[in-house]
Amino acid sequence: MQSHSDIIIVGGGPVGATLALALADTPFSVQVLEAREDLSRAVYKRTLALSYGSRLILERLGIWAQLSDVTAINNIHISQRGGLGMSQLTATEENLPALGYVVDYGELDSALHAALSKSKASVVTGARVNSIRNSAGYAQVQVTQTDVPCSLTTRLAVVADGGAGQAQRVTQEYDQHALLATVTTELPHNGCAYERFTPEGPVALLPNQQGFALVWTGTPDRVAELLAMPEDEFLTALHTHFGDRVGQFLTVTGRTSFPLVLRYAQDTVASHQVLIGNAAQTLHPVAGQGFNLGLRDAWELAQAIRELGTNKEALGSRSMLQAFQSQRRTDTGSSIFFTDLLVRLFSNDHPILKHGRSLGLMALQYFPPARHMIARRMIFGARG
């Protein structure tokens, strides 16, 4: 462990690793502090929905070609249960090879760490960050490794692990849990993802190899019931809830769940430190925006650092960090507003809102400029 680095990244997950790789050819020394003891061990298998914009970032880092477990999302079908109106976003209409992709989190994590091991960045495992404080022009990072505490200094501490930052956060509870699983269906997915809104919350089916990755949102009690159901009973309940668009549901594996909240830092920068990814904001999974927003955080922070050239005195300065925060504010703010609005607008059975939603989906389907605007913001963020 190095006692001083120009940049310390707290968290070696995909967002932190992306930042480290994007800085690999800069004159700044980079140290990544990761709480996991062994990065060669596979992480819990789960799926990620990556936008085409995130693919471009990973391609620039040489990571995309290393991924084999990839399923393209060519179309997104949007509807609401019990109401007329639907809309469909297509890659063809956007002149793109795909709107997004479903990838395996573990494979992405492994590919990023394999690339990191060949870079000049220093990666320290088993390192738990206890606090970050400003100290005379530097950030002082208090770390424990193998039960031994130590103090490190850096010009810029980047918190990318979701929990080590000191910022005050706004938290909104949704009183919803997300049930995750893998399902197979009677009909093939043909590269189509489904986002279906119900009064209990959205349910999404993402094409994943020969089946779908399922994200089913409901109240905590309902999700607990679904987790406890025998397989055949669960599949019947899912068919009743989702409908017939993919035929019968045949199998389900890997059921798990987690609570849903909106959590974001009111101020993502402080003296010589900055929050990115889930440390800065945790979003509802509707529309799959959170992880992609975190990758854009990492990429744009890397570009802001690269613009400094060799000027280490400016690294972590208040002017540099405030400029970065201002640059990210539109993308972050609109993503928070967009996902929160979708949840609040669609997670109810209000008759007036229900008819209004139907008209809105119909209008979206027959007004290509609106579809294009929504597709571009989902793929590339607010700045398109």
- Cα–Cα dist 15/159, whole Å: 10
The reported pLDDT for the residue numbered 337 is 92
What are the phi and psi torsion angles at 142 (to 5°)?
-95, 120
CATH numeric code, 4-42+105-169+263-345 = 3.50.50.60
156 contact partners, CB below 8 Å, separation of at least 6: 6, 7, 8, 139, 272, 273, 274, 305, 315, 316
- Identify the pLDDT of residue 168: 61
**Predicted local distance difference test score (pLDDT) of residue 344:** 85
Residue 363 three-state SS = helix
Given the DSSP bridges, would you call strands 169-185 and 249-265 parallel, antiparallel or unpaired? Answer: antiparallel
**Domain residue extents for the chain:** 4-42+105-169+263-345
Residue-wise pLDDT for 239-276, tens only, equals: 999 999 999 999 999 999 999 999 999 899 999 999 99
From first to last of its 384 residues, the chain has per-residue pLDDT tens of: 899 999 999 999 999 999 999 999 999 999 999 999 988 776 767 899 999 999 999 999 999 999 999 999 999 999 998 777 899 999 999 999 999 999 999 999 999 999 999 999 999 999 999 999 988 889 999 999 989 999 999 999 999 987 544 556 788 889 999 999 999 999 999 999 999 999 899 999 999 999 999 999 999 999 999 999 999 999 999 999 999 999 999 999 999 999 999 999 989 999 999 999 999 999 999 888 999 999 999 999 999 999 999 999 999 999 999 999 999 999 999 999 999 988 888 877 777 777 788 888 888 888 999 999 999 999 999 766
This prediction has a pTM of 0.94
